[in-house]
Amino acid sequence: MKNLIKCLLVLCVSVCLNACYSENVQTLYPQSSLANCDTVNVNYTTVIQPIFSRSCALSGCHTGYYAAGGLSFDSYQMSVAVVKNGRLIGSLKHEDGYRPMPLSNTVLSVCEIAKIQSWINAGMPL
């Protein structure tokens, strides 16, 4: 009887643990993530630079003299050069054929990517 109870307990715990997963709202409902995303009048100084600083221009990544891949987000001019490389959006969206960025498991939000795309489409205003 004790073995049966132990088996049932292990089974219940196993089912509960396997039932949990870590999807976020942006992954499950990407369009709803854009509902409150302001992509109008996006500029480098107030919108894009903070995203790049927080997610790309980190020590050991895309900053400094030895920036990874020779791609640096240290300044407006360098960020524009990365955009002109033509691979930024594909990498941020983790599309096939592109190296997914950022390398850490932290993916930019759908809204952040939309802001970057809006900035690029607007001619990369400072």
Q: What is the pTM of this model?
A: 0.73
Give the C-alpha distances (Å, rounded to integers) separating 100 from 9, 20, 80, 89, 97: 41, 26, 19, 10, 9
Choice between 111 and 31, residue whose per-residue pLDDT is larger:
111
The domain segmentation of the chain, as residue ranges, is 24-121
pLDDT band for position 106 (cuts 50, 70, 90): confident
pLDDT > 60? residue 107: yes
Give the tens place of pLDDT for each residue, 20-77: 444 444 455 455 568 899 999 999 999 999 999 999 998 889 999 999 999 999 999 9
Q: Can you read off the two tokens belonging to residue 57?
A: 């221009």
